Structure 1
Amino acid sequence: MENNSTDQFFKSTVLGHPSGLFVLFFTEMWERFSYYGMRALLIMFFTAKVFDGGWEWPESWAYAIFGTYVSLVYLSTLLGGYFADKIIGFRYAVLVGALLMTMGHACMAIETPFFIYSGLTLLVFGSGFFKPNMTSIISEMYKDRPQKKDGAYTIFYMGVNAGAFVGILLCGYLGEQIGWSWGFGVAGIFMFFGLVQFWLAQNIFGNIGLKPKKEDKENVVLEEGDRLNPFTKVELLLIAISAFLGLTWILNDPISKISEGEYNFFGFEVFGQKGEDVAIITALLIFVFLLIIRIPKYVKITRDRMLAVVFFCFVTIFFWAIFEQAPGSLTIFARDYTNRILEGNSAVIFKVVDALLTIVPLGVITWVLIKLFKQTFSKYSWSNITLAFSFVVIWGISIFRLYDKLGGDVAEIDASWFGTLNSLFIITLAPLFSKWWESKHNPNANMKFAIGMVLLGLGMACVAIGSSSIEPGAKSASVSMIWLVLVYLFHTMGELCISPVSLSYISKLVPGRMIAMMFGIYYLAIAIGMKLAGMFGEASTDIAKQDGLSYFFWILTAVAIGLGVLSAIMYPVIKKLMHGVR
């Protein structure tokens, strides 16, 4: 066996996979715990009344800063990925990211404007270093066992959703019921646990992810008939201008609103048009122009497949813009317009379900933890002790929450609790969708996007129907919570049709040397979608005052279903552009 063979990782296994995979599993779980736990509280904290510990901001300010934050999280992955690939390696990028996020959550727990803004900035850069590099380590670990890679990513994806589920459940409870600082602070504590256990167990990855060696650029492998197309100086200048305008606009949006115009990078007019409108339209036009002049330079098959990727990225923008209403307008809908008080038998049933939803997932993850201990305790005892301590704390908070919730004859559901349904439905439904994709009934790429967008639309239609009785301008209501449950069910099914398959299709459609660039465009599409999500949420406040909240949700329904129909109609065109890729 060669020293650089990845077979060495399979000498110590848990559930048939390398122990190192589960070190990544728990590190990613704590990162997702902290990210989703904090995100579930962000808009509620900004808009909560001062006597409830919030800042009592207008909803438009909260949506603006939320949209900018989640957008920058995805844009920063381009920076983090570059540093990892070229300078510090995957492993140190993960450690730098985890440290920055720990500091970010610690800042947010202080709750003053300086520390909240500093915390969000640190979280953006931390996510950028952390997010793209965990999967890169997995990819390297399974380099010689490609047949086991799907199973590895499935296990890893379970860690992602377990972290999101527990994070929203516990941070949401602590933030809403005990104090916002508790929710923000606990998110940081578990990010710190993830950092420490990864640091202490990092030798389990051998040479993977260490500082990269200088690559010989002449060794780029080209497909038959393909050719290199380096960016010209003019193209690089256009990229810089577009990026500068776009980034400045994203930052300026919340800054100008929160400062009420005192600080505004675009506080001028061009031919009677607002400066910010001119800036973002110019940035988008330059980007489209770049695509128009770049794509024809490639050989026909590569060019056609890139056009297919651009179409999928376009649909992706609107998928995330609508899907990410979950921590925004849907959480506000849960807080202000949903009947979250259950009595009698309904309360008893919910308490039993809530207890099971807390104990069973934690029990399963603890069982995996014990299996990991058996394999790695002798070599990585301090990493395991850190992990064990973190689970003792998690169980303690969970039992405290259940004790608080199980008392009395009434059940009050936290507004953030509904966000846990997405992770719960993913864990439940992912195996079924995986079987569907492996069967003879596996839909083509366009139909997966079409089905995903229609399901997204159906989810929004549910909450549109549910909110139809709410009068325009109403500040509160008591709509049945069943509508929110249905929203998250349909949206999760839509996510399973689009999110996991998008990356797969990009990797299949473009040559290996271009994957980094096309993933960059894909993450840019998600970032645009995230910012649009904040803008849609912002629009919801004005639309709700004039035409009612239901009208806003019907608009999103129409956009989603319309794009689903477009994806289906475009099937013959996109099939031709994909040149045989399934």
Structure 2
Amino acid sequence: MPDFTTQAAPATQGKEFFGHPRALSTLFLTEMWERFSYYGMRAILVLFLTATVANGGLGMAEGDATALYGVYVGFVYLMALPGGWVADRLLGARRSVLWGGIVIALGHYAMAVPVKAGIFVGLVLITIGTGLLKPNISAMVGKLYEADDPRRDAGFSIFYMGINLGAFISPLITGYLGEEVNWHLGFGVAAVGMTFAVVQYVLGRRHLHGVGDTPPNPLAGEDRRRALRAIAIGVAAVVVLIGIAAVTGQLTLSKIVSALAVFAVLVAVVYFARILLDKRLTEVERSRMRAYVYLFVFAASFWLIYDQAGSVLNLFAEKNTDRNVFGWEMPASWLQSVNPILVIIGSPIFALIWLKAGHRLSTPVKFTMGLVLNGLSFMLMALAAKAAVGGTLVSPMWLVAVYALQVCGELCLSPVGLSATTKLAPALYGSQMLGLWFLSTAVGDAIGGQVAKWGSDVSQPAYFTVLGVASVVLGASAVLLTRHLRRLMAGIH
């Protein structure tokens, strides 16, 4: 992960952007358009994968489509780890964001071409490019300010608004074009959005004033050549193995997706083992890391359910909801815009709640609230699915209510978990721990894709009930562990 502790000279020259460094506008717009492309494509991906060939889709089984979706979303977050390393050791944050944006745009353009292979090539390119862009653009925002600048938190809040603004607008455009006109046209609009991101980033680079120009801990000489050689060998080995598997007939989409899900879990296990076995850690740091293992599991369990909004719940919106508005059928993907607008509305409310509550609500308790609310959302979905049994179309307000519960859960867990990550991090692993937090999402999404595949073989009411009850029970377990976790956290609330 990029080094968030190393500060470049703040970019404060020239005009300001709402009282902040002008460079924030460049990063804000880059992130907004990148999220536009990401969430726009994501809103129609599963719908396209499951659509019949006659209707322009790939005709995949729902189980395979949701599994592929889960692994794709998971690896987008997993790639933040090598993406941050590349910025720290090879390219620097500024060039990593630029190259990441270019690769993402190429991926979306590949998906816009009406060829089956283009879809999978595009998903791989978008995954790699997002790994380069996403963590490093956040790091650059932090480097616009001195550590004690009172505008710092407000700057991140403005930046966060860009994320949700792009996520809100994109499904409305790509969803309409993809579902009503042509799927690949929807993917093409996402490509255009990413092109806007790259162009305005290049045009606005003069405002950055050297922020992220050089890697904070660069590899040089033989070390650099050795690292590049290892990367090349690794990529070549993967290509050869895939080629052998394809020629021998052992390669199937289902096997690839399952293997990638297992890989995501193994990365997390190895990462935790590496940190916990590091003899340089103090006893207090080791104790806090043990507490973080619990929080990691809770977070992964949360994302397992939450990120099914773009797969299982999106398919429910398409097949089981009455979207007729004055004789016109609203695209199912438009419901993907509900989540970001609720986040925009709810974020300041929850920030105020946490401020008023102070230390009376500890991190484990907030995680409990997130898990319980997430579980209740799927229990509510079970009622919606039961009402839809037999082909009855239910009101889309069921999904709006479900998303409202999930957003409340997200605001209990996600920003709190990010804050806890920075507070519990050992001194030697400060920036890498942010990568570990992203990894919890990767693990949850990868496993969630496999769970959704299993769910295609059982009734929807049973599927939602099992996952909902499991999340509530896990939340209750977190309550029982609160005292133990607070003791392990050694003074961190």
What per-residue deviation string (whole Å, max 9, x for no partner) do you get for residues 535-571 of structure 1? 122122101xxxx211101111112111211222111
Partners of 2:168 and 2:131 lie apart in 1 by 22
Instruction: Tell me, yes or no, if structure 1 residue 465 matches structure 2 residue 383.
Output: yes
Identity fraction in percent: 34
Residue type of the partner of 2:110? C
Partners of 1:293 and 1:509 lie apart in 2 by 13
Partners of 2:275 and 2:126 lie apart in 1 by 35
Instruction: Tell me, yes or no, if structure 1 residue 498 matches structure 2 residue 413.
Output: yes
Larger radius of gyration: 1
**Residue from 164, 172, 177 that aligns with 1:174:** 177
Report what 2:289 is aligned to.
306
**Residue from 476, 480, 493 that aligns with 1:565:** 476
1:51–1:209 CA distance, 2 compared to 1 (3 A): same
TM-score by length of 2: 0.87
Give 1:213 shift: 5.5
Give 1:293 shift: 6.2
Instruction: Tell me, yes or no, if structure 1 residue 536 matches structure 2 residue 451.
Output: yes
Give 1:283 shift: 4.2
1:423-438 equivalences under 5 Å are 423-438=340-355
What per-residue deviation string (whole Å, max 9, x for no partner) do you get for residues 147-176 of structure 1? 222111111111000000111111111101
3-state SS of paired residue (1:9) = coil
Give 1:14 shift: 2.4
What per-residue deviation string (whole Å, max 9, x for no partner) do you get for residues 463-516 of structure 1? 111111344xx5x43022221110010001111111112121111112343123
Report what 2:163 is aligned to.
160
Report what 1:359 is aligned to.
none
Partners of 2:248 and 2:452 lie apart in 1 by 19
Instruction: Tell me, yes or no, if structure 1 residue 82 matches structure 2 residue 85.
Output: yes
Contact map agreement 2:106 2:125 (CA 8 A) in 1 = yes
Deviates more, 1:510-519 or 1:443-452: 510-519
**Residue from 46, 50, 69 that aligns with 2:49:** 46
Residue type of the partner of 1:20? A
1:152–1:340 CA distance, 2 compared to 1 (3 A): same
Report what 1:220 is aligned to.
none
Deviates more, 1:61-70 or 1:106-115: 61-70
1:351-366 equivalences under 5 Å are none
Give 1:78 shift: 1.0
Partners of 1:166 and 1:294 lie apart in 2 by 46
Report what 2:425 is aligned to.
510
Gaps of 5+ in 2: 1-6, 220-229
1:380-419 equivalences under 5 Å are 409-419=326-336
Partners of 1:575 and 1:532 lie apart in 2 by 28
Partners of 2:181 and 2:485 lie apart in 1 by 52
Residue type of the partner of 1:329? V
Partners of 2:272 and 2:14 lie apart in 1 by 52
Residue type of the partner of 1:263? L
Contact map agreement 2:94 2:213 (CA 8 A) in 1 = yes
Report what 1:117 is aligned to.
120
Give 1:193 shift: 0.7
Residue type of the partner of 2:85? Y
Residue type of the partner of 2:471? A
Partners of 1:278 and 1:57 lie apart in 2 by 19
Give 1:417 shift: 1.1
Partners of 2:336 and 2:116 lie apart in 1 by 26
Partners of 2:153 and 2:84 lie apart in 1 by 22
1:156–1:50 CA distance, 2 compared to 1 (3 A): same
Report what 2:492 is aligned to.
581
Instruction: Tell me, yes or no, if structure 1 residue 37 matches structure 2 residue 20.
Output: no
What per-residue deviation string (whole Å, max 9, x for no partner) do you get for residues 73-130 of structure 1? 1111111111101111100001001000110000000131221111111101110100
3-state SS of paired residue (2:392) = coil
Contact map agreement 2:112 2:188 (CA 8 A) in 1 = yes
**Residue from 66, 71, 74 that aligns with 2:69:** 66
Contact map agreement 2:264 2:442 (CA 8 A) in 1 = no
Partners of 2:264 and 2:112 lie apart in 1 by 37
**Residue from 236, 240, 263 that aligns with 2:251:** 263
Report what 1:327 is aligned to.
310
Moved over 3 A (4+): 213-216, 258-262, 264-267, 275-289
Aligned residue pairs, count: 467
Contact map agreement 1:336 1:477 (CA 8 A) in 2 = no
1:100-499 equivalences under 5 Å are 100-212=103-215, 214=217, 262-263=250-251, 283=266, 287=270, 290=273, 294=277, 298-342=281-325, 409-440=326-357, 443-471=361-389, 476-499=391-414
Q: Which has the higher contact order (CA 8 A, sep 6+)?
A: 2
Report what 2:222 is aligned to.
none
Partners of 1:485 and 1:448 lie apart in 2 by 23
Residue type of the partner of 2:30? T
